[in-house]
Amino acid sequence: MATPENRPAWVTSWFQSHQRTAWLPIIKPTDALTGGSKYAGVPWLAHDEEWPACESCRRPMQFFFQLDLGCLPEGANRGFGDGLLQLFMCTWIQQGKCQPIRDPCLPFSDATLIRIIPAQGAGKAVEIPFFGEGLSSADVPGNCMAIRGWEAQTDFPRSQEFEDHHPHFRGDEDLFSDSFSCTQDDKLGGWPFWLQGTEYHHCRRCRTPMTNLIYQLRSDHILSYWFGRAGIGWILQCPKDKDILAFTWQC
Ligand SMILES: [Zn+2]
Ligand SMILES: [Zn+2]
């Protein structure tokens, strides 16, 4: 059995050839301004639009994250589309007031809204809606954090990606992770830090696996929210259909 000491050269070169750059956000607390890349606070909304409601319970969803695709760092994938990417999720589930058909840990849930919108101008002035009484700390809308810059870091695939490509290979658990690091923190691009198996769901239009990782969100790291038990979530995109996006998490 292969160990880190006698790892075959072809395994090392597989990882090296799959190296990517991940961009870690540099954040700064901010007021509830609506534009730009940010966590929580107030989203950019069009003047004729109401605060997004959950498709399942019709209550307001919490605003988690917004990424200005026009202001990505030099060298990052600029092919995700144009406009603002936004992620909303219904947190009334934890209060027993929402029973979505599809759990929000799954892509295309009726309790999640993930979209890219063409945002022009200042957007609508809105107040953060009421999200229920007696929220546990996990459900309180988080503090608004603006993304002020990015720090590049080398990112390697998790061992699950390697195993998907080489299902018959047998090696130590540490064979890969000690040498080829994948950050579990929030990041733009890079590789998903899978906690279970790889989960590139199929595009619901063309059935292509949604392998474009746009962003990774870790529980209670920058966003004050727990995806299940200390889970990690991913914003994935169909490489062919830029408007088909999915949010999914594992824990
Ligand atoms: Zn709901
Ligand atoms: Zn597609």
Q: Does residue 64 lie in a domain region?
A: yes
Query: Nearest bound ligand to CA 242?
Result: 2
Q: How many domains does the chain have?
A: 1
Query: Nearest bound ligand to CA 208?
Result: 2
The CA 208 to ligand 2 mean position distance, Å, reads 5
Q: Does residue 133 lie in a domain region?
A: no
Q: Does residue 12 lie in a domain region?
A: no
Q: Does residue 128 lie in a domain region?
A: no
The CA 51 to ligand 1 mean position distance, Å, reads 13
Assign 135 a pLDDT band (cuts: 50, 70, 90). low
Q: Does residue 5 lie in a domain region?
A: no
d(CA 82, CA 21): 21
The CA 17 to ligand 1 mean position distance, Å, reads 42
pLDDT value at position 3?
65
Q: Does residue 126 lie in a domain region?
A: no
The CA 31 to ligand 2 mean position distance, Å, reads 37
Query: Domain residues for 214?
Result: 18-121+140-250
pTM beyond 0.85: the answer is yes
**Tens digit of each residue's pLDDT (9 = 90 or more) over 5-52:** 778 889 899 999 999 999 999 999 887 666 899 999 889 999 999 999
Question: Domain containing 232 — which CATH number?
Answer: 2.30.320.10
Q: Does residue 221 lie in a domain region?
A: yes
Strand boundaries in the chain, DSSP class E: 20-29, 38-39, 62-68, 84-89, 112-117, 145-155, 187-189, 212-218, 232-237, 245-250
Query: Nearest bound ligand to CA 54?
Result: 1
Q: Does residue 11 lie in a domain region?
A: no
Assign 75 a pLDDT band (cuts: 50, 70, 90). confident
pLDDT value at position 6?
76
- Mean pLDDT over 227-232 rounds to 93
